[in-house]
Structure 1
């Protein structure tokens, strides 16, 4: 499985209701998308325990065909039209744990970890922090940057001192047939 995410940093005075309305009106269109396991429509709002306004959707794909279709068949053009050219971070999933109530998630904690230079990678262990009340986690590694990211999903906002907590506006389920 692969994952992709683009992070759109928005100005401090950006009206985040624009993003919320956009997702509310069209987020469901990703339900049932080819090869999609899920898409989390993530935002952060400055002053709401975050340092910046951002829109940072996270996609987890079971195969690359759907991801390629999304990027090159006009769907990603909506992002380019609205926000300009964006770099897409691509990674490989190494662990996915989703509980039965995963699709009720409302928040995501994002934690970055380096994969240090070492003599051998055999038996490398990805550090996975277990949090109380989590309903899922996804570990994505990126060997061209030698780092991995742990995304932990919650139904309620976690009591964390970290600043990389995103609100989920909508969680698209790629397994369900799309309704347009």
Structure 2
């Protein structure tokens, strides 16, 4: 599986209801999309959940690269380019994906990055233990990128825990598109 995410930074005075309306009107288009396990339509809002800016940062988890390739090169990503300009797409490999039966009830995503430091043995590295753990997860996805030696964990929750570490980013989920077999 592959993960894909791009970040659209928006002005501090941007009306985030424009993004919510855009997702409400178009989010259904990725429901059941070829090879897509799920797409989380994620936003950050200035001064909410410690965020310093407004942003639209969707996260895709692809079961196969063919669907991801079709999404990028056969017109779907063109809507992003026309609306927000040229965006770098971050691509990673899934290390683990754990989703509960009520994953679709998630309302928040916590995003935490860690660096994989140089070592002479990766075999005994337990990546999952490098991250914070939260109770009542609806899902957890860990993604790694060996060309940067970085990992990111996305924790899907229906409520925010107290005392979240400062380096953990908090996103609101506006919509979750999923593989029809998960619904």
TM-score grouping bracket, smaller chain normalisation: over 0.9
How much has 1:156 moved relative to structure 2? 1.6
SS at match of 1:149: strand
Does residue 66 of structure 1 match 2:67? yes
After superposition, the CA RMSD in angstroms is 1.3
Does residue 16 of structure 1 match 2:16? yes
Does residue 109 of structure 1 match 2:114? no
**Aligned twin of 2:173:** 168
Q: Distance in 1 between matches of 2:158 and 2:76?
A: 29
The count of corresponding residues between Structure 1 and Structure 2 is: 177
**Aligned twin of 1:141:** 144
Does residue 152 of structure 1 match 2:155? yes
How much has 1:100 moved relative to structure 2? 0.6
Paired residues of 1:2 and 1:64 also in contact (CA < 8 A): yes
Unaligned runs of 5+ in 2: none
Paired residues of 1:9 and 1:52 also in contact (CA < 8 A): yes
Q: Distance in 1 between matches of 2:45 and 2:139?
A: 23
Paired residues of 2:143 and 2:152 also in contact (CA < 8 A): yes
TM-score (norm 2): 0.93
Deviation string 1:77-106 (CA, Å, 9 cap, x unpaired) is 000000000000000001111011001100
How much has 1:43 moved relative to structure 2? 0.1
Which consecutive segments of 4 or more residues in structure 1 shift more than 6 A? Answer: none
